[in-house]
Structure 1
Amino acid sequence: MLAESLKVTPFAMMSRPVAGVRNKSLILTLPGSVKGAKENLEAVIDVLPHACMQAAGADSRSLHAGGVKKLEAEAGVAAGGGRHDHHHHGGGHVVPKPHTSPEDRPMSNDPSAGPTRRHRTSPYPMISVEEALAIIERETPSPRVEEVPVEEDLVGHVLAKDVYANEDVPAYRASIVDGYAVIAKETRPNTKGVFPVAYVSHAERSSISLPPLRPGKIVRVTTGAPLPPNANAVVMVEDTIVKSTTIDGKEEATVEILTDDIKPGENVREPGSDVAEGSKILSKGDVLSAVGGEIGLLASTGNTDVKVYTKPIVGVLSTGDELVRHDAERALHEGEIRDSNRPALISCLMAWGIETVDLGIVSDSSKDLETVLRDALRGTMDHPPVDVIITTGGVSMGERDLLKPTIERLLGGTIHFGRVAMKPGKPTTFATIPRKTSNNPRKQVAIFALPGNPASALVTMHLFVLPALHKLMGFSHPDGTEDRPSRGLPRVRAVLAHPIPRDPKRTEYHRAVVTASRDGRLRASSTGLEGVGQRSSRVASMAKANALLVLPPGVESLPEGELVEALMMGQIVPGN
């Protein structure tokens, strides 16, 4: 390995390769750099099978029978370290050789090279939205599971395990009306007449067991109160009249029941009639909503803890020397703009029920950006390690667009895509960065580098970030099923309320308001202003928008009445 390295550079003399055997395992050390490791491994890989056989205890004499030339032929190597052409015989190990050099492959700008050396066009291939979503689905880490108490903040979590009732609901035979508990029979007459009231049963907790109801007497019960033993039906108070009261006049002494039609079980909830102990009440994959009653169901059935998928923690930062905090109490200097992206994206995440970390504004400095990203990965005294990082700005072609090189060159991350064929949002970038801390179950962090233009940032946030968050939260596969929510924005079909021009080359995600008309159809209206349209820098085009219309590329405008696909960002608005 050292000899081969010296052919590449004299600095190889600084290398310290070591080889040895422990038990029956062959151990080789390689340099830390990717290039050096590859060159060293290529130098020895053809003879490794022979070395492994010897390390495993093979008979050396029989291995070397036939001489060194025979061994070289079998291994596919030539004297002096060269290789035979492996394609002309069956023996040996074929070493994959790339047909391109590193400088020919997609790679971000080198920040140290200066503006004259930067790319004039993006080195990243343009991919479709569908390809981008597939890559995000593949590279986003799987959800992890935690056991949490049943409390109000469970809303928005997804169950990671089926849940069963720990007890019957109701736990006792209970009245469903205000009235009088009786002993009813299948035959008539049996309930009509005047009866003495033995006592009163209220819907309240009591450690004292109710005495059994004796024939010829009744017990006053309130809604939800337990029935006394032997009672099997309840007569509604509307079907009775008071015949006499106690001496103080506060309670009934005798009551007349006016009907003879009461059947056994009437106006009674049997134990477990709502939910039987041991029955499945919620399924893995169910979302615990704020309006569906799932939290109440868990609480009522004696479940104090459940297993759910852990929600991700998302860090949000903005990049650019031109940015000023949105709440800065001063007039802007020339070239400055207020940072609207961070508060917009953080508020969006909060609406989705995601815990966020405000990573602030980072200057156009690779070192500053690296520091902030490293702190986000490992956590600080102010915030825990994040699972997803969202950045805005720094992903186009300018000399100060440092995000991609910082991810690739300084943090060891992988850029999975750097351009998407869509409008707006073409420079959207998705990457993953390995997390080097061993105590975190998520071994890599997903990073979404969104465009700096406000409308582009919000569109790509809904289109790309939300599906990744849904995967981390345990939502079902992107396609979903009838009884499970799928990942990403829900899709509907809407009719255009007016013509909308199209981009000739790229699919456009057009900001719109979808309303429900009285005829039952959904109608879509653009939020673009006449004469201005929907430039990606136009943040006003997102105001009041509740949908993104998916407009395929084309030369001609889509006419009024055209049926288009709409991705719903918010609730459908009532229309005329």
Structure 2
Amino acid sequence: MTTIRVGVLTVSDTASFDPVSDTSGPSLCRLVEAEPRYKVEITAIVPDDIKVIQKTVTHWCDDLDLHLVLTTGGTGFGVRDCTPEAVLPLLERQTPGISHLIFAKSIQITPFAALSRAISGIRGQTLVLTFPGSPKAVKENFEAVAKMLPHAIDLARGGTGKKVHEKMQGVSRRLRKSPYPLIAMDQALASVMDKIAPLPSTERPVNEALIGSVLDEDVVAVEAVPGYRAAILDGYAVIDTDGPGEYPVTAVSIATASYETPAKLLPGQIARITTGGALPEGATAVVMVEDTLLVKSSEDDTKEEIVEIRAKVRNGEAVREIGSDVKIGQIVLKKGQVISAVGGEIGVLASIGVGKVVVKQRPVVGFLSTGNEVVNHDNGQPLKMGQIRDSNRPTLIAATKAAGFDYLDLGIAPDSPEDLEAAVKNGLDKCEIVVTTGGVSMGEMDLLKPILEQKLGATIHFGRIMMKPGKPTTFATVPHPRGGQQPRLVFGLPGNPVSATVTFHLFVLPALRKLAGYEKYMWPSIQAEITHDIRLDERPEYQRAIVAVTNEGKIQAQSTDRNQMSSRMVTMLGANSLLVLPGRTAERANVASGDKVECLLIGKIV
């Protein structure tokens, strides 16, 4: 291909009536022909009309077989702006990377670039790009992609693009700066939490599946505990005013279900009773069996007839009165309380006659690994050159399960825009949160951000954080696929396993807790004495560490490993905390042994 044949289409109601008023179209033509090998073969001006736009673009692509079609105008928020709606149905393949490159360049110049809805893609063998309608925006957009368009067009027409690619890949043409500002950790956390509201409530039965749920209303007892006057030990029901002496045994009351009320106890009588047994009417106390003596039994030795009471008891002794534990109408659990596995909440609910409770819905989180080099850790095959086993999904799924949340394994997506888009869409359809690992840095195959923005309508709230590890961590919100009020959340975590694990604990688990209705959703923090010197990094750092209590009662922290590289998963071994280390300054370059350091507790203190 020697000459790139280009069509320039101006979309404007005004310019279609007064061609002289068109400034962006001629400006674009001059920019195109200033580039070697480009030739403007045809131009046109059409109104903001979907059918007219489509007719022109289709003719230029299908009949004229142009290499490149550039439109200018109609990409904004105006009522008549309809270029994206006209062009999108004509495209056989979209090119989100090109759209993202244009957006990234423009947003560095003006925040108003966010108001453009420009798209790009391929129809047949023609590349189609839509630009805004001002000469300034046209210049910025075209210059952002002009040098790489020959390569893209060659590929769209079935070529290998080898020569163009080799020419373009000079180091002078590589992106050296991310379009996403580097923000502070507290700003990133606030950005996440500001976008989250607890999920709606639902009614669920009282069983072990409640563990981890948060109550969304007070729970009131509908039955008293106990529901009858009961003995708290084995012995004899007595009338306390009778005092010590020998008494006939007139009844036996054992802990069993019965619709019959025990016979009334009269003065001078006692009744044999077991722990939990119902007290006969008239009984006022229970004497333990150790404080009695058998005086006489029946001839066949099967019944006690006379027993000596040897201890003086007071009214109510060893008796659980009705409602002494829980009264009818008593609030036993408060709204906002978490149903734990060890706190007894399930047992209390089961004891008071409550069969169902209202709790916050539990979020589901989906995990997707990305990368052509990533393979399932359990595929049973030896690794090929360049392959790595996926440790991210197993690690994050295990941490999610331990935290009591539901998850979905979304598998591995290769570095393909179509495959990655389909995998993320699948997760967004089924999960409140989608967590990806890999594909968020500055490499050629880091596709997540452009796909989120250009294909899924996402808003990226941040793409870089001033932290170590986890600098390229990305957070975005995506409109609910079925029109729900709460958007889906996407966390693009780095591919390095330690970076993924640390950022998961810092961002994703707190987000899950807040979605689930936890009032305290952040990790608890304590001060611990560090046991060794640490050289501070220029970025605030979260080192993996073990916090322990010494025999003397001191709380101490020690890094799991002095080499805390983000690729070394062994630094997570045994870690129960993250040391919160400040960034290095001229005044402070180290943390000295014995200094107090903030520790986020992600596990149990040893």
Instruction: Say if 1:156 and 1:287, in contact at 8 Å, map to a contact too.
Output: yes
CA distance in 2, matches of 1:245, 1:304: 46
Which residue is equivalent to 2:406? 355
Across the aligned residues of Structure 1 and Structure 2, the Cα RMSD in angstroms comes to 2.6
Q: Which residue of 2 aligns with 1:237?
A: 289
Q: Are 1:289 and 2:289 matched, yes or no?
A: no
Superposition pairs of residues 455-534 of structure 1, within 5 angstroms: 455-476=498-519, 486-503=520-537, 505-529=538-562, 533-534=563-564
- The answer to whether 1:203 aligns with 2:231 is no
Q: Who is 2:434 aligned against?
A: 389
- Give the Cα–Cα distance (whole angstroms) in 2 for the partners of residues 5 and 353 of structure 1: 61
Shift of 1:14: 2.9
The residue aligned with 1:332 is 383
The aligned residue for residue 79 of structure 2 is 40
Q: Secondary structure at the match of 2:533?
A: coil
Q: Give how far 1:442 is off.
A: 5.8
Superimposed CA distance per residue, residues 262-299 of structure 1 (whole angstroms, 9 cap, x where no aligned partner): 11111111101111111110111111111111110111
1:346-425 to structure 2, matched below 5 A, reads: 346-378=397-429, 385-425=430-470
1:148 to 1:517, Cα distance in 2 relative to 1, 3 A: same
Q: Deviations over 1:222-256 (max 9, x none)?
A: 11111011111111111110001122202211101
Quick check: 1:387–1:442 contact (8 Å CA) kept in 2? no
Between the aligned partners of 2:213 and 2:113, the Cα distance in structure 1 is: 47
Kindly provide the CA deviation profile for residues 528-553 of structure 1, in whole angstroms up to 9, marking residues without a partner as x: 24xxx111111111111111000101
1:559 to 587, 592, 598: 592
2:198 touches 2:515 (CA, 8 Å); kept in 1?
A: yes
Matched, 1:300 2:330: no
Helix, strand or coil: the match of 1:520?
coil
Residue 447 of structure 1 aligns to a residue whose secondary structure is strand
User: Which whole-Å deviations, capped at 9, do the CAs of 1:415-438 have from their partners, x for residues lacking one?
Assistant: 010000000000000001112314
Instruction: Give 1:75's aligned residue.
Output: none
CA distance in 1 between counterparts of 2:74 and 2:526 reads 50
Query: Do the aligned partners of 2:198 and 2:360 also contact (CA within 8 Å) in 1?
Result: no
**For residues 229 and 556 of structure 2, what CA distance do their matches in structure 1 show?**
52
- Specify whether residues 279 and 491 from structure 1 end up closer, same or farther in structure 2 by C-alpha distance, changes over 3 A only: same
1:3: how far off? 2.8
Which residue of structure 1 lines up, in the alignment, with residue 45 of structure 2? Answer: 10
- Is the contact between residue 202 and residue 226 of structure 1 (CA under 8 Å) also seen in structure 2? yes
Q: Secondary structure of 1:255's partner?
A: strand
How has the CA–CA distance of structure 1 residues 34 and 214 changed in structure 2, closer, same or farther, with 3 Å as cutoff?
Answer: farther
Change (3 A) 1:100 1:179: same
> Which residue, out of 292, 299, 309, partners 1:257?
309
Q: Which of 188, 191, 197 is the equivalent residue of 1:135?
A: 191
Alignment match, 2:497: 454
Whole-angstrom distance in 2 between the partners of 1:332 and 1:473: 40
Shift of 1:209: 1.9
SS at match of 2:296: strand
Structure 2 letter corresponding to 1:492:
I
3-state DSSP of counterpart to 1:196: strand
Residue 360 to residue 155, structure 1, CA distance change in 2 (3 Å): same
SS in 2 for 1:398: coil
Partner of 2:133: none
> CA offsets, 1:515-568, max 9 Å, x none?
111121111111124xxx111111111111111000101252211000000011
Aligned to 2:373: 322
Q: Secondary structure of the equivalent of 2:527? A: strand
TM-score (norm 1): 0.78
How far has the Cα of 1:333 moved from its partner? 1.3
State the distance in 2 between where 1:35 and 1:496 align. Answer: 61
Kindly indicate whether the alpha-carbon contact (under 8 Å) linking 2:48 and 2:81 is maintained by their aligned counterparts in 1.
no
Aligned counterparts of 1:34 and 1:156: Cα–Cα separation in 2: 53
Q: 5+ unaligned residues in a row in structure 2: which ranges?
A: 1-10, 17-21, 25-43, 53-71, 83-109, 117-136, 153-164
The 1:101/1:294 distance shift into structure 2, 3 A limit, reads: closer
Contact 2:13/2:46 (CA < 8 Å) preserved in 1? no
- After superposition, residues 154-233 of structure 1 pair within 5 angstroms as 154-185=210-241, 190-233=242-285
d(CA) in 1 for partners of 2:605 and 2:15? 66
Letter of the 1:400 partner, please give it. Answer: M
Distance across 2 between alignment mates of 1:377 and 1:254: 76
Alpha-carbon shift at residue 130 of structure 1 (Å) = 0.4
Contact 2:74 2:80 in 1 (8 A): no
CA distance in 1, matches of 2:420, 2:284: 74
Is the contact made by 2:547 and 2:558 (CA closer than 8 Å) also made in structure 1? yes
1:543 aligns with 2:553: no
Query: Does structure 2 retain, via aligned residues, the 8 Å contact 1:180–1:235?
Result: yes
SS of the residue corresponding to residue 146 of structure 1 reads strand
**AA in 1 matched with 2:390:** D
Distance 1:275 1:535 in 2: 55
State the 1:305 CA deviation: 0.5
Q: Would the alpha carbon gap of residues 403 and 562 (structure 1) be closer, same or farther in structure 2, given more than 3 Å must change?
A: same
- 2: CA distance, partners of 1:442 / 1:172: 50
CA distance in 1, matches of 2:237, 2:73: 83
* CA distance, structure 1, for counterparts of residue 111 and residue 291 of structure 2: 92
* Change over 3 Å in CA distance of 1:374–1:35 after alignment to 2: farther
Contact map agreement 1:317 1:358 (CA 8 A) in 2: yes
Identity of matched residues, %:
46
Asked if the contact 2:12/2:73 (under 8 Å) is kept, the reply is no
Residue 34 (structure 1) shift = 11
Distance 1:144 1:118, change over 3 A: farther
Q: CA deviation at 1:2?
A: 7.2
> Which of 179, 182, 186 is the aligned partner of 1:126?
182
Matches of 2:439 and 2:46 in 1, distance apart?
Answer: 36
Q: 1:99 to 1:287 in 2, by over 3 A?
A: closer
Instruction: Show CA shifts across 1:4-63 (max 9, x none).
Output: 48467834353389xxxxxxxxxxxxxxx99646233799xxxxxxxxxxxxxxxxxxxx
Q: Residue 434 of structure 1 aligns to which amino acid in structure 2?
A: P
Contact 1:144/1:472, CA 8 A, preserved across alignment: no
- Contact 1:245–1:253 under 8 Å retained in 2: yes
* 1:427 and 2:472 matched: yes
Instruction: Give the direction of change, closer, same or farther, for the CA distance of 1:14–1:230 in structure 2 (3 Å limit).
Output: same
- Whether the 8 Å contact between 1:514 and 1:525 is mirrored in structure 2 is yes
Per-residue deviation at 1:370?
0.8
The answer to whether the 8 A contact 1:180-1:218 is kept is yes
